[in-house]
Amino acid sequence: GAVVSQHPSWVICKSGTSVKIECRSLDFQATTMFWYRQFPKQSLMLMATSNEGSKATYEQGVEKDKFLINHASLTLSTLTVTSAHPEDSSFYICSASDSGIGRFETQYFGPGTRLLVL
């Protein structure tokens, strides 16, 4: 149980293009999903919290117009990197909580999407 998938697993794109990454909870409903970015040999940096049916909450320093998040259903959240540039190249990982209500919510991570912007 508690499986999270991500698609695509890797993507190479030209500078200026937009890239959409999907995060799905396969066997549970996730009211809340999280998007992280991880640079090589570094920790997980939270970018935003995605809430089903409402606007995402972005962390300080993360541009909401550049990283568009949509959480249209209880099993799917998408992250779109708009007008990607080489500095956006990174490992993007989502996670999902298996309970939208409650004091303790375990986060399960997707396999990540490796983005390379040329």
Partner 1 sequence: GENVEQHPSTLSVQEGDSAVIKCTYSDSASNYFPWYKQELGKRPQLIIDIRSNVGEKKDQRIAVTLNKTAKHFSLHITETQPEDSAVYFCAARSEGNNRLAFGKGNQVVVIP
* 112 near partner 1, judged by CB under 8 A: yes
Return the number of the residue (45 or 82) whose C-beta is nearest partner 1.
Answer: 45
Identify the residue among 8, 15, 17, 44 touching partner 1 (CB under 8 A). Answer: 44
Identify the residue among 69, 93, 115, 117 touching partner 1 (CB under 8 A). Answer: 93
C-alpha to C-alpha distances, 47 to 26, 59, 86, nearest whole angstrom: 22, 5, 18
Identify the residue among 73, 106, 116, 118 touching partner 1 (CB under 8 A). Answer: 106
List, as one string, the DSSP characters of 44-61: -EEEEEEETTS--EEPTT
Alpha-carbon distance of 30 to 118, in angstroms, equals 34
Q: Please, what is the Cα angle at 15 between 10 and 16, to 5 degrees?
A: 110
> Coil, strand, or helix at residue 67?
strand
Residues 6+ apart with CB under 8 A from 28: 1, 2, 96, 98
As measured in angstroms, the least distance from the Cβ of 16 to partner 1 is 27
Q: Mask of contacts with partner 1, 1-40, x by CB under 8 A? A: -------------------------------x-x------
As measured in angstroms, the least distance from the Cβ of 104 to partner 1 is 6
| Chain contacts with partner 1 (rule: CB under 8 A) | 32, 34, 42-44, 46, 49, 93, 97, 103-112
